[in-house]
Amino acid sequence: MIRKLSLLTCAAMAVFSLSTAQAEDVISDFMKAHHKAPEGTDPTCKKAANGAASDAELAELLKGYQAICAATPPKGEKDAWVKKCQELVAAVKGLQEKKEGAADAYKKAVNCKGCHSEFKAD
């Protein structure tokens, strides 16, 4: 009986956290997971730019960019945001297909400051 109760509590908490998750957290969480790595390790974006990301990492990046594309940034025009995210999606696809110049296209698309000044609230 106790076990059943704690299972129920877990399920209720999961539903609660899902329903209260803000759309903006999608972007923040992605940034923390793939654009900024803990001290001493390379973030996924850096590995991708150096051609050192594994297939699994590229797949994760692609999924992430598609997810933030659908989210709304705290600042800026949604249309321009979608366009920027789609450039990133296209650049990662280029990396997956090992296209010539794909790393350079990705480096250009993943311009931190350029995107933050337009879409990130201070």
Catalog residues that contact ligand HEC under the rule CB under 6 A.
24, 27-28, 31-32, 35-36, 45, 73-74, 84-85, 88, 110-112, 115-116, 119-120
Q: What does the block give as tokens for 75?
A: 């600042």
Query: Residue 88 or 102: which CB sits closer to ligand HEC?
Result: 88
- The residue among 53, 50, 47, 90 whose CA lies nearest residue 69 is 90
Q: Residue 119 and residue 38: Cα distance in Å, rounded?
A: 24
Nearest CB to ligand HEC, comparing residues 58 and 115: 115
CB of 120 to ligand HEC, least distance (A): 4
CA atoms within 13 A on the CB side of 64: 22
In whole angstroms, how close is the CB of 54 to ligand HEC at the nearest point? 18
In angstroms, the CA 41 to CA 47 distance is 10
Nearer to ligand HEC, 103 or 110 (CB): 110
